[in-house]
Amino acid sequence: MSTVRDNLMSRPGYSPYCGNMQCKTMPRTTWNGAQFRCFECGWASGFPAEFITEYKTRWGLGG
Ligand SMILES: [Zn+2]
């Protein structure tokens, strides 16, 4: 498991930084209910559905 995924599963409210190298400020992303999205450039993370399901289950999000 990557460090980012590890943090996502263990730290409440943790979110990864924007992954778009062209992004102006590369801020931390925000959870949009399906992926993590950058408010600055619109970049969205591409975590596989399997991981997203684990994440939502871990923090009691959605379904
Ligand atoms: Zn961005």
Only one residue has tokens 């399906």, namely 34
Residue 18 within a domain: yes
Residue 61 within a domain: no
Statement: residue 1 has pLDDT above 70: no
Residue-number span of the structural domain to which 40 is assigned: 3-46
3-class secondary structure, 19: coil
**What is the pTM assigned to this prediction?**
0.90
Residue 39 within a domain: yes
Question: How many angstroms does the Cα of residue 44 sit away from the middle of ligand 1?
Answer: 8
d(CA 49, CA 63): 14
Question: How many angstroms does the Cα of residue 49 sit away from the middle of ligand 1?
Answer: 21
The token pair at 20 is 């778009």
**pLDDT tens digit sequence for 12-56:** 999 999 999 999 999 999 999 999 999 999 999 999 999 999 999
Question: How many angstroms does the Cα of residue 15 sit away from the middle of ligand 1?
Answer: 13
Residue 14 within a domain: yes
3-class secondary structure, 1: coil
